[in-house]
Structure 1
Amino acid sequence: MIHLFQKGTNPSSPTFLLLHGTGGTEQDLIPLASEIDKEASILSVRGNVLENGMPRFFKRLAEGVFDEEDLIFRTKELSAFLDQAAEEHHFDRNNIIAIGYSNGANIAASLLFHYQDALQGAILHHPMVPRRGIDLPDLTGRNIFIAAGMNDPICSSDESKELYKLLEQANANATIYWGNKGHQLTNGEVEAAATWYWNNK
């Protein structure tokens, strides 16, 4: 997978897995990661799927309707990539925190839904429920921050509440932050994510 890696300056800090939104690149979320922990390592990945020339992490059938078969395949692909990247770049595979926005947050949530040890934690900006009707792994010890929008036209507040509930039922330590600016990633939610991160570090 196309990606970039930046070694952090603090060995005890995690590696941030950065996952952009639709049409983004591996450059997009680097400033956001620095706002949260400038000493952390960064592994930023570009989605392998193109939709009208725009990179994504998995296919969709329509707005808000995921191609479930492709989602499962791409989630497995990303999990395997993390194993390889940890060996290649010499970072702790067991200390990865995903930071995802929109489509990137959805693939991060899918990692949590499918693989118990894929992520140590996650910061999910405007995620949806990746799959329904499946048993989640035991996510005890996983700290997860969800940034949601009360007026988000793409990801409804009910969707955000459902994701939060599913993660809590899987024993994750989930937190939800509510903004009112729609689907865009705001400074307020980044600041809230940073506060949450340091409180849980």
Structure 2
Amino acid sequence: MTTTDLGFVHRFEPGDASVRPLLLLHGTGGDEADLLPLGRRVSPGAALLSPRGPVLENGMPRFFRRLSEGVFDADDVRRRAADLAGFVAAARARYGLPAPLALGFSNGANIAAAMLLLHPETLAGAVLLRPMVPLSDAAPADLAGRPVLMLSGAADPIVPAENAARLAALLTAAGARVEHATLPAGHGLSQADLAGVEAWMAREAPPA
């Protein structure tokens, strides 16, 4: 069921308390229903918490403002990351959840990366699909061994390979255990992404 409380329009699906919950973060133009099937597939039984991005760009929901393609409003990134971290804390209290594992695509992956860098206590780890560096001047975080999977596309016209590599280096320097793979794909998701996420979840997802 979609609800509007806790500060974000969101969907919550209860799950098995022994499985780490997922925080699902959609890409530009998506909504709170977009990644539910992916979440159910890659982590059967997990509780699913899926907010809708509160920023509109030409009517399309996003999690923060951008000035142009690939150029982000740094002040808005910081503000929205704090707001989303607050929502996660409120949702954890409401629904009785441990810290979730983020699963984000594109803009959703970028806000998840921003939370890792700015509010590392919020997430138990993350799966970042087609992410970019969200902030160039984020202070070093302490990610203390948190697992992070990054999947980039070799033919992605939006995310430069150098940018994705820089994000992997930033997260590694902050203490995360980063696995970064580049797949034979563009910006959209492929069967290789699904297989890669499923294998990583089975191997690396932290227990609840």
TM-score interval w.r.t. the shorter chain? over 0.9
SS across alignment from 2:169: helix
- CA shift for structure 1 position 186: 1.2
* In structure 2, C-alpha distance between the alignment counterparts of 1:123 and 1:104, rounded to whole Å: 10
Residue identity matched to 1:52: N
Residue identity matched to 1:56: R
- CA shift for structure 1 position 19: 0.4
1:74 corresponding residue in structure 2: 80
Contact 2:104–2:127 (CA<8 Å) still a contact in 1? yes
* In structure 1, C-alpha distance between the alignment counterparts of 2:182 and 2:193, rounded to whole Å: 8
Contact 1:151–1:157 (CA<8 Å) still a contact in 2? no
- Which is further off, 151-160 or 48-57? 151-160
2:172 corresponding residue in structure 1: 168
Aligned residue runs from structure 1 range 21-36, under 5 A: 21-36=27-42
SS across alignment from 1:27: coil
Find the partner of 1:158 among 162, 182, 185: 162
Identify unmatched segments of 5+ residues in structure 2. Answer: 1-7
- CA shift for structure 1 position 161: 0.8
* In structure 1, C-alpha distance between the alignment counterparts of 2:104 and 2:120, rounded to whole Å: 18
Contact 1:2–1:46 (CA<8 Å) still a contact in 2? yes
* In structure 2, C-alpha distance between the alignment counterparts of 1:191 and 1:180, rounded to whole Å: 13
* In structure 1, C-alpha distance between the alignment counterparts of 2:66 and 2:114, rounded to whole Å: 14
2:3 corresponding residue in structure 1: none
1:113 corresponding residue in structure 2: 117
- CA shift for structure 1 position 134: 2.7
* In structure 2, C-alpha distance between the alignment counterparts of 1:134 and 1:68, rounded to whole Å: 10
* In structure 1, C-alpha distance between the alignment counterparts of 2:26 and 2:167, rounded to whole Å: 19
SS across alignment from 1:117: helix
Contact 1:6–1:42 (CA<8 Å) still a contact in 2? yes
Residue identity matched to 1:119: L
Find the partner of 2:186 among 176, 182, 189: 182
Contact 2:30–2:61 (CA<8 Å) still a contact in 1? yes
SS across alignment from 1:160: helix
- CA shift for structure 1 position 141: 2.2
Equivalent pairs, count: 198
TM-score by length of 1: 0.96
State the Cα RMSD in Å. 0.9
